[in-house]
């Protein structure tokens, strides 16, 4: 699924790496525990999270996450935005909850990381 489709489905705002709007992403999942992200994500997947700590960007870079969606109206600090830009990780913001966001993506054809999320 293209990042542009995810943006539309989640009524999201993209705040970093707008030039990657046509990037293809293969799966999605929601997590607030970064240990779960490290063991469950696939390269070029979408992480949905409410966690707005700088470690999220570092973990996503290590796990080769393709994009991050911050749910529940959470807004990262500028330091996180700058870090994501440095690593070329698009960040999107949505007001939907994690449950609703994951459900909307699933209903539109995007599947989970490993089937357990």
List of residues 6+ apart from 76 with CB closer than 8 A: 52, 70, 84, 91
Q: Using an 8 Å Cβ cutoff, are 4 and 21 in contact?
A: yes
Residue 91 lies in a domain: yes
- Does a structural domain hold residue 117? no
Could you give the number of structural domains in the chain? 1
**What pLDDT does 32 receive?**
67
Residue 96 lies in a domain: yes
Q: Is residue 84 part of a domain?
A: yes
Report d(CA 47, CA 2) in Å as an integer: 14
pLDDT, one tens digit per residue, over 77-98 is 999 999 999 999 999 999 999 9
Q: Is residue 115 part of a domain?
A: no
Cβ(94)–Cβ(10) below 8 Å: yes
**Angle at 56 (CA atoms; ends 101, 34), nearest 5 degrees:** 80
10-residue stretch averages of pLDDT, the chain, 117 residues long: 95 93 86 63 82 89 90 94 94 96 90 59
Helix, strand, or coil (residue 52) = coil
67 within 8 A of 89, measured Cβ to Cβ = yes
| Domain presence at residue 66 | yes
Share of the chain above pLDDT 90, in %: 55
Asked whether residue 113 is assigned to any structural domain, the reply reads: no
Domain assignment present for residue 68? The answer is yes
The helices-and-strands tally (H runs, E runs) of the chain is 5, 5
Looking at residue 95, which CATH number applies to its domain?
Answer: 3.40.1390.20
- Look up the domain containing 98 and give its range: 3-107
């Amino acid at each position: 699924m293209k990042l542009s489709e995810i943006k539309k489905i989640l009524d999201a705002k993209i705040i970093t790496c707008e030039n990657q709007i046509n990037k293809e992403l293969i799966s999605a999942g929601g997590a607030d525990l970064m240990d779960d992200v490290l063991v469950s994500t696939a390269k070029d997947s979408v992480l949905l999270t409410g966690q707005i700590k700088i470690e999220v960007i570092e973990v996503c870079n290590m796990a080769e996450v393709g994009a991050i969606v911050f749910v529940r109206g959470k807004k990262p600090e500028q330091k996180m935005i700058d870090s994501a830009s440095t690593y070329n990780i698009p960040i999107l913001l949505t007001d939907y909850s994690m449950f609703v966001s994951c459900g909307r993506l699933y209903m539109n054809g995007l599947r989970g990381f490993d089937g357990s999320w």
